[in-house]
């Protein structure tokens, strides 16, 4: 088992990895996203995420987005009628981009540069909803510590909403692995050590590059996730598995005609 208590080692690596790739994402999409959000009320969320947000209820609610990257989803949530919106991310460049877009498009969202494990206690109890979305949990080595922090951010009765890549998708080949059968299990479900990769994060521009430092990716099973949530004092109140690919890497499976769980939506509530 990885030394998950040493989470800073991994979050430092995540910061470097995301600061390295953000210029590639920005070159491919920044201007287009700015233009899109200059349209009043623009929303850029997939159908299942919109349904999940409707189920959780965000209208007028204070929302924290943990691992918010360039802020596109949180700006959308604000445009759907949420109240105070605060995004947290460890990548300096992602937060700079999110802040610049919010200012350019006059959308009232705050973006804070922070490791989610170390969000300042001033934010405790400040939110009705906390949101975690595609490709965030895999960067986090210590789920119990993370969910404890997320639960502390919520007010009593607040809801944590997770819209994530299904761990079953992690077992199947990526679209780029053309030579592998997309419907054949390629990796185990139980992966106690993080995968170590160098590059491969430019799913926006599609550039291949070799990263300077290792990137660590943790595969958490659904059991790990639910147990860590429950132990952090949150009550799981909704869990739906979906065949939609939100990883940007499993389109072959999504289009195969075989119904495979590729993503999921989970809601967990803090006691009143
Ligand atoms: C795949 S992106 C999330 C993408 C987001 N769902 C979206 O579509 O824009 C993962 C994000 O997690 C952030 N991240 C990774 N580890 C983190 C940590 N310990 N604290 C805060 N943010 C972290 C990265 O900087 C990156 O922006």
194 neighbors 216 (Cβ within 8 angstroms): yes
Which tokens is 146 given?
């993370």
Instruction: Centre a 10 Å sphere on the Cβ of residue 103 and count the other Cβ atoms it contains.
Output: 10
Average pLDDT over residues 210-233: 96
pLDDT digits (tens, 9 = 90+) for 173-187: 999 999 999 999 999
The atom number, within ligand 1, closest to the CA of 18 reads 25
Distance 151 CA to ligand 1 centre (A): 18
Q: Is the CB of 215 under 6 A from ligand 1?
A: no
CATH architecture designation of domain 7-270: 3-Layer(aba) Sandwich (3.40)
pLDDT digits (tens, 9 = 90+) for 36-87: 999 999 999 999 999 999 999 999 999 999 999 999 999 999 999 999 999 9
Q: What sign does the dihedral 110-130-150-220 (CA atoms) show? A: negative
Average pLDDT over residues 14-26: 96
Distance 257 CA to ligand 1 centre (A): 31
For a ligand 1 pocket test, name from 67, 101, 111, 201 the mutation site with the most ligand atoms within 8 angstroms of its C-beta: 67
Q: Which residues contact 79 (CB under 8 A, 6 or more apart)?
A: 40, 41, 42, 43, 107
Nearest Cα neighbor of 139 from 11, 265, 1 is 11
State how far the Cα of 217 lies from the Cα of 164, in Å rounded to an integer. 14
pLDDT digits (tens, 9 = 90+) for 245-263: 999 899 999 999 999 999 9
Query: What's residue 5's pLDDT?
Result: 57
Average pLDDT over residues 229-247: 97
Average pLDDT over residues 227-237: 97
State how far the Cα of 114 lies from the Cα of 8, in Å rounded to an integer. 12
Q: Is the CB of 69 under 6 A from ligand 1?
A: yes
State how far the Cα of 98 lies from the Cα of 111, in Å rounded to an integer. 7
Q: Is the CB of 242 under 6 A from ligand 1?
A: no
State how far the Cα of 138 lies from the Cα of 96, in Å rounded to an integer. 23
State how far the Cα of 249 lies from the Cα of 246, in Å rounded to an integer. 8
Using a pLDDT cut of 90, give the percent of the chain over it: 92
Query: What's residue 1's pLDDT?
Result: 44
Indicate the helix (H) or strand (E) that contains 71. none
* β-bridge mates for residue 86, sequence order: 64, 110
Q: Is the CB of 91 under 6 A from ligand 1?
A: yes
Query: Where would I find the H helices in the chain?
Result: 7-38, 47-56, 72-79, 92-104, 143-153, 222-231, 251-254
Calculate the average pLDDT of the chain.
Answer: 96
Query: What's residue 272's pLDDT?
Result: 92
The better pLDDT of the pair 198, 200 is held by 198
Which residue carries 């206690």 as its tokens?
121
Q: Is the CB of 18 under 6 A from ligand 1?
A: yes
Q: Is the CB of 49 under 6 A from ligand 1?
A: no
């Amino acid at each position: 088992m990885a030394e998950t208590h040493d989470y800073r080692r991994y979050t430092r690596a995540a910061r470097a990895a995301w600061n390295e790739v953000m210029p590639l994402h920005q070159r491919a999409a920044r201007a287009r996203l700015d233009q899109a959000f200059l349209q009043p009320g623009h929303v850029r969320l997939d159908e299942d995420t919109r349904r999940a947000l409707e189920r959780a209820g965000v209208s007028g609610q204070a929302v924290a987005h943990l691992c918010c990257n360039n802020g596109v989803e949180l700006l959308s949530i604000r445009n759907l009628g949420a109240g105070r919106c605060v995004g947290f991310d460890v990548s300096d460049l992602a937060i700079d981009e999110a802040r610049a877009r919010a200012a350019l498009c006059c959308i009232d969202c705050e973006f804070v540069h922070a490791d989610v494990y170390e969000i300042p206690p001033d934010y405790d109890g400040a939110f009705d909803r906390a949101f975690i979305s595609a490709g965030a949990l895999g960067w986090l080595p210590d789920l119990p510590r993370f969910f404890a922090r997320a639960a502390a951010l919520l007010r009593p009765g607040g809801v944590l909403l997770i819209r994530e890549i299904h761990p079953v998708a992690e077992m199947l080949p990526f679209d780029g692995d053309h030579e592998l059968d997309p419907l054949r299990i390629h990796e185990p479900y139980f992966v106690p050590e993080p995968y170590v990769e160098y590059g491969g994060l430019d799913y926006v521009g599609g550039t291949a590059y070799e990263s300077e430092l290792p990137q660590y990716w943790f595969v958490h099973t659904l059991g790990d996730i639910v147990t860590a949530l429950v132990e952090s004092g949150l009550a799981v109140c909704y869990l739906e598995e979906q065949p939609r690919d939100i990883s940007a890497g499993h389109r072959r499976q999504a289009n195969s005609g075989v119904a495979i769980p590729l993503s999921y939506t989970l809601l967990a509530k803090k006691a009143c």
